[in-house]
């Protein structure tokens, strides 16, 4: 027979689930009424009233004044408090890190960018990030509910370990507990592509409430984040989506990972620049390459088109592996514009079955800010809403 303790736990779990449902609905609605929440959630009015009262008491929800509903009926408008529902985002690349305060709607409130002058695997790099994060919070007088970190490599979530690719191969690092101890906040770490995928799912403009969406991050490397029905697909260890190390040429050049012919050796920003530096008039940075490409420089166009073709082969493989409804391309490739995406599309069309191609939407990210930065808010709140009572107690 179920014990009283089990019954109380079940009731508590139901309330947690209901609170999370209400917060997610308010995130989608913006300003709304209690009656609208009751109708959308299927919860009775008394349950909605109880939940909203507790959220108002915790400062998570605020009232906005009168709303006029159907038949001229008036009700009190409510919305999520974006001064309270904020996170500290830490976006790390191999050359820089960005600190930002981001609210539950993905809006940036404060932002600071720092250069990294040492190898990312140097322990002093993360010591410096931790120091700067502490100073950033004090300077901006912010009290986030959690911290999220987006890192350029697989994060083995069950082992709380991040992997970075070095000249000596993969190296593992563990630092989450140190951040939690210093910042006195829950810290959630994710691979940057997964963060970008969640950012697109929560804040992107494509109308997909369920199904499969893939976000492809481009820059120093190439990675993919896969989200199915709002959940990140991490795989057995947490390394799913490492498409940059998917071989597209078994006889190709050696990669640092130990494989040959990896995708990112042909179509990462680093690979494109490597080819551009060998031109009669060498191009040394990506911004200059974009300028020359848009100006119609034939030599640069040939390099970019070759990269687009290889990237398209990678997207075609993604289409067969995950059969996504939407593939969103983010990162540095956005700067190359629609002509680049058209070339990728043509390659994808040539390499997959027509029915698959007709049912896949390939597009650049439409978000104003970096998906792998604002997506940190999506990752943190998605995790915290598994047990939203934490937000009420925070």
d(CA 247, CA 245): 6
pLDDT value, residue 157: 77
pLDDT value, residue 134: 95
The answer for residues whose C-beta is within 8 angstroms of residue 376's C-beta and 6 or more apart is 87, 89, 90, 91, 100, 102, 148, 149, 150, 190, 195, 199
The answer for residues whose C-beta is within 8 angstroms of residue 363's C-beta and 6 or more apart is 206, 326, 327, 328, 329, 341
* CATH architecture, range 205-366: 2-Layer Sandwich (3.30)
Residue 12 pLDDT class (50, 70, 90 cuts)? confident
Tokens of 76: 């009190």
d(CA 232, CA 214): 10
Q: Give whole-number Cα distances, 140 to 91, 174, 288, 378, 386, in Å.
A: 18, 28, 35, 22, 28
Q: Which of 284, 248, 279, 283 is nearest to 266 (CA)?
A: 248
**Chain-centre distance for alpha carbon 338:** 23
- DSSP state letters, 66-96: EEE-GGG-EEEEEEE-TTTSEEEEEEE-SSE
Shared fold status for 4-80 and 86-195+380-393? no
Tens digits of residue pLDDT in 148-184: 999 887 788 777 777 776 555 567 777 788 899 999 9
What percentage of the chain has pLDDT greater than the value 90? Answer: 72
Spell 30-62 as b/e; 16+ CB within 10 A means b.
eebbbebbbebbebeeebbeebbeebeebebbe
pLDDT value, residue 1: 47
Bridge partners of 226?
Answer: 214
- Is 324 a residue whose pLDDT tops 50? yes
Q: Give the CATH fold of the 4-80 domain.
A: Arc Repressor Mutant, subunit A (1.10.10)
Task: Provide the mean pLDDT of the chain.
Answer: 90
H or E element: which one contains 331? strand 326-331
The answer for residues whose C-beta is within 8 angstroms of residue 122's C-beta and 6 or more apart is none
d(CA 237, CA 157): 7
Tens digits of residue pLDDT in 258-308: 899 999 999 999 999 999 999 999 999 999 999 999 999 999 999 999 999
Mean pLDDT of 63-84: 84
Strand order in the sheet with 187-191: 108-115, 96-103, 86-92, 147-151, 187-191
Residue 120 pLDDT class (50, 70, 90 cuts)? confident
Tens digits of residue pLDDT in 341-374: 999 999 999 999 998 888 899 999 989 899 999 9
Mean pLDDT of 14-23: 95
pLDDT value, residue 207: 53
Class of CATH domain 86-195+380-393:
alpha beta
Tokens of 155: 């994060």
- Is 2 a residue whose pLDDT tops 60? no
> Apex CA 243: angle with CA 238 and CA 248, to 5°?
145
Domain ranges across the chain:
4-80, 86-195+380-393, 205-366
- Count of Cβ atoms closer than 10 Å to residue 390 Cβ: 15
Of 5-9, 39-43, 76-80, 153-157, the one with minimum mean pLDDT is 5-9
Tokens of 227: 């989200």
């Amino acid at each position: 027979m179920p014990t009283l303790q089990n019954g109380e736990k079940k009731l508590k779990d139901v309330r947690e689930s209901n609170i999370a449902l209400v917060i997610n609905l308010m995130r989608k609605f913006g300003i709304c009424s209690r009656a609208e929440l009751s109708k959308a959630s299927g919860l009775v009015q008394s349950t909605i009233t109880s939940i909203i009262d507790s959220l108002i008491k915790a400062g998570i929800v605020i009232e906005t004044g009168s709303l006029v509903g159907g038949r001229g009926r008036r009700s009190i408008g409510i919305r999520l408090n974006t001064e309270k529902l904020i996170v500290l985002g830490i976006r790390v690349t191999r050359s820089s890190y960005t600190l930002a305060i981001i609210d539950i709607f993905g809006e940036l409130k404060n932002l600071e960018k720092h250069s990294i002058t040492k190898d990312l695997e140097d322990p002093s790099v993360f010591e410096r990030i931790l120091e700067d994060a502490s100073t950033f919070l004090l300077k901006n007088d912010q009290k986030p509910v959690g911290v999220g970190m987006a890192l350029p490599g697989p994060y083995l979530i069950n082992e709380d370990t991040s992997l970075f690719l070095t000249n000596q191969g993969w190296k593992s690092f563990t630092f989450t507990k140190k951040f939690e101890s210093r910042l006195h906040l829950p810290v959630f770490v994710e691979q940057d592509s997964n963060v970008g995928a969640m950012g697109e799912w929560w804040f992107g403009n494509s109308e997909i409430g369920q199904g499969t969406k893939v976000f492809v991050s481009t820059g120093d490397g190439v990675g993919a984040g896969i989200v199915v029905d709002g959940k990140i697909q991490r795989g057995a260890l947490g390394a799913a989506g490492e498409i940059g190390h998917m071989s597209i040429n078994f006889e190709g050049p050696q990669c640092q990972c130990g494989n040959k012919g990896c995708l990112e050796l042909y179509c990462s920003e680093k690979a494109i620049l490597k080819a551009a530096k060998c031109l009669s008039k060498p191009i040394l940075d990506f911004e200059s390459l974009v300028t020359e490409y848009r100006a119609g420089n034939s030599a640069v166009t040939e390099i970019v088109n070759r990269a687009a073709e290889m990237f398209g082969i990678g997207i075609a493989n993604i289409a067969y592996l995950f059969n996504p409804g939407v593939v969103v391309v983010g990162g540095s490739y956005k700067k190359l514009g629609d002509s680049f995406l058209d070339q990728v599309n043509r390659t994808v069309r040539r390499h997959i079955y027509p029915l698959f191609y007709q049912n896949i939407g390939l597009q650049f990210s439409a978000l104003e800010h970096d998906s792998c930065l604002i997506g940190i808010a999506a990752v943190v709140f998605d995790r915290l809403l598994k047990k939203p009572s934490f937000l009420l107690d925070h």
